[in-house]
Structure 1
Amino acid sequence: MNRVILIEFIIYFAVIIGIGYATSRTKMSHSVFLLGGKKLPGWALAFSERATGESAWLLLGFTGFVFTTGLAGIWVAIGIGLGIIFAWLFLARRFMKETDKHDVLTLPDFLAVSFGEKENLIRWVASILIASFFMFYVGAQLAGAGKLFFTTFDMDPKVGIILATVVVLGIAFFGGFVSVVWTDMIQSVMMLATLVILPIVALIYINTHDLSIATSLVEAGESFDSWFGGATGFALGVLFFNNFSWFFGYLGGQPQLSARFMALKNDKEAKQGIIVSITWTILAYTGAFLIGLAAIAMYKQGTFADTETILPNMILDLMPTWIGGLLLAGILAAIITTANSQLLVITSSVSEDIIHKALGMRLNDRQLVWLSRIVILVSGVIGMVIALSSQSLVYLVVSWAWAGVGCTLGPAILLTFFWKRYSSTGVVATILSGFIFTVVWISTDMDEQLTARFATFFVAAIVGIVFSIVFPDKGEETKETVNI
Structure 2
Amino acid sequence: MTDNAWIIVAIVLYFGVMLSIGFYSWRRTKKYDDYVLGDRGLHPFVAGLSAGASDMSGWLLMGLPGALFATGMSELWIVIGLLIGTWANWKWIAPRLRSYSEVANNSITLPSFFENRLHDSSRLLRIIAAGIIIFFFTFYVSSGMVAGGRYFESTFHGDYLTGMLIVGSITVIYTFVGGFLAVSYTDVVQGLLMFAALIIVPVMAFFALDNVSELFTFATNNAYGPHPEGNPTYFNLVSGVSLAAIIGNLAWGLGYMGQPHIVTRFMALRNPSEAKQGRVTGVFWVTLCYIGAIATAIISTVYFAQKGETITDTTSYETIFLDLARLLFHPLIAGVILTAVLAAIMSTMSSQLLITASALVEDLYRVFAKKQAPGRVLLLWSRVMVVVVALVAIILAVNPSDSILSLVGFAWAGFGSAFGPVMIAALYWKRLTAPGAIAGMTTGAVVSFVWGNLEATSSMIYEIVPGFIAATAAMIIVSLLTRAPEEAPAEFDEALAITEYSNAHPDLSFSQAREAIHGTQEGSTAV
> TM-score when scaled to structure 2?
0.86
Q: CA deviation at 1:338?
A: 0.4
AA matched with 2:350: N
Q: Which residue of 1 aligns with 2:413?
A: 403
Q: Answer yes or no: is 1:466 the counterpart of 2:477.
A: yes
AA matched with 1:452: E
Identity across the alignment (%): 28
Cα distance in 2 for partners of 1:296, 1:47 equals 30
Could you list the per-position Cα deviations for residues 251-274 of structure 1 after superposition, in whole angstroms to 9, with x for gaps in the alignment? x21110011000001245323212
Q: CA deviation at 1:229?
A: 3.6
Q: Which residue among 262, 273, 278 is the counterpart of 2:267?
A: 262
Q: CA deviation at 1:360?
A: 5.6
Q: Which residue of 1 aligns with 2:521?
A: none
Distance 1:367 1:78, change over 3 A: same
Q: Which residue of 1 aligns with 2:509?
A: none
Q: Which residue of 1 aligns with 2:190?
A: 187
Could you list the per-position Cα deviations for residues 226-282 of structure 1 after superposition, in whole angstroms to 9, with x for gaps in the alignment? 111433xxx2x11211221111111x2111001100000124532321221111011
Deviates more, 1:315-324 or 1:164-173: 315-324
Unaligned runs of 5+ in 1: 480-484
Deviates more, 1:269-278 or 1:134-143: 269-278
Q: Which residue of 1 aligns with 2:505?
A: none
Task: Confirm or deny: 8 A CA contact 1:123 1:358 kept in the other structure.
Answer: no
SS of match in other structure, 2:118:
coil
Task: Confirm or deny: 8 A CA contact 2:15 2:170 kept in the other structure.
Answer: yes
**Structure 1 segment 30-429 matched on structure 2, within 5 A:** 30-102=32-104, 103-206=106-209, 208=211, 211-219=214-222, 220-231=230-241, 235=242, 237-250=243-256, 252-299=257-304, 304-306=313-315, 307-357=317-367, 359=369, 361-429=371-439
Q: Answer yes or no: is 1:454 the counterpart of 2:465.
A: yes
Q: CA deviation at 1:317?
A: 1.8
Q: CA deviation at 1:209?
A: 5.9
Distance 1:222 1:27, change over 3 A: closer
Distance 1:229 1:324, change over 3 A: farther
AA matched with 2:390: G
AA matched with 2:116: V
Q: Which residue of 2 aligns with 1:431?
A: 441
Question: Which has more radius of gyration?
Answer: 2
Q: Which residue of 2 aligns with 1:24?
A: 26
Could you list the per-position Cα deviations for residues 415-443 of structure 1 after superposition, in whole angstroms to 9, with x for gaps in the alignment? 11112222111111111111211221122
AA matched with 1:97: S
Could you list the per-position Cα deviations for residues 373-407 of structure 1 after superposition, in whole angstroms to 9, with x for gaps in the alignment? 01111111111111113221110010000011123
Cα distance in 2 for partners of 1:80, 1:277 equals 12
Could you list the per-position Cα deviations for residues 465-484 of structure 1 after superposition, in whole angstroms to 9, with x for gaps in the alignment? 111122334649x99xxxxx
AA matched with 1:287: G
AA matched with 2:258: G
Task: Confirm or deny: 8 A CA contact 1:104 1:110 kept in the other structure.
Answer: yes
Deviates more, 1:151-160 or 1:462-471: 462-471
Q: How large is the Cα RMSD of the aligned pairs?
A: 2.0
Task: Confirm or deny: 8 A CA contact 2:91 2:275 kept in the other structure.
Answer: no
Could you list the per-position Cα deviations for residues 4-33 of structure 1 after superposition, in whole angstroms to 9, with x for gaps in the alignment? 001111111111011101211234211110
Unaligned runs of 5+ in 2: 223-229, 491-527
Distance 1:367 1:312, change over 3 A: same
SS of match in other structure, 1:224:
coil
SS of match in other structure, 1:449:
coil
Task: Confirm or deny: 8 A CA contact 1:343 1:380 kept in the other structure.
Answer: yes
> TM-score when scaled to structure 1?
0.94
Distance 1:260 1:401, change over 3 A: same
Task: Confirm or deny: 8 A CA contact 2:94 2:275 kept in the other structure.
Answer: yes
SS of match in other structure, 1:261:
helix
SS of match in other structure, 1:24:
helix
Distance 1:362 1:118, change over 3 A: closer
